[in-house]
Structure 1
Amino acid sequence: MKNLDEILAMAQNVQNELQKAQENLDTIEVEGVSGGGLVRVKATAKGRISNISIDDSLMQASEKQMLEDLLAAAFNDARTKADAVSSTEMSKMTSGLPLPPGFKLPF
């Protein structure tokens, strides 16, 4: 069994690596798309929306409901992609740790 100092050092290292991974998520960008590209939402892997693009053809009063639906779909697509990237990046940081199955970090 490892001594307490080694365990504490390993825990500190893991904490530092997780912090770096969290910071890195702000630099990774994903794009959610709906309506065959009529609406695009760019977001960081943390889910922060950085840009929204709407095709001019949707900027008519008669297209209001469709635009709202496409915006929601694009936001959800971006969120799904951000969650996937976030999970992948965090898994890279915890892959060597002896964690029980299903245990996820950060808590």
Structure 2
Amino acid sequence: MIRRLLKVFFKLAPRILAYRRFRQMILEDKSIDEREVSQEAKKFVDTLIELGPTFIKFGQILSVRPDIMPETYIKELSRLQDEVPPAPFNDVKEILKEDLGDEISIVSE
């Protein structure tokens, strides 16, 4: 569990810090490089995908919140609405076996 928490922290921390830096620059009316913001938004979304379903869902929620996310991030986050790679079938099958036991044969027929 600690390993997972550390992974999440070290994957998300740089993305969150970059977002905060851009947000602060906007608040201070400083010029920002839109290409850099776009690249960082893409990295943020890719990180959410890498971290799995809970983080993908969080990103989907953020994707419909233009009141708290800049347009560049919204554009990238919207990929999470319909462009998320599917989970490998063997992973899904194992989860179904754990949850349904022998009943999986009934479902798969």
Select the structure that is richer in strand.
1
TM-score (norm 2): 0.31
Select the structure that is richer in helix.
2
Q: Point out which structure has higher relative CO (alpha carbons under 8 A, 6+ apart).
A: 1
Higher alpha-carbon Rg: 1
TM-score (norm 1): 0.32
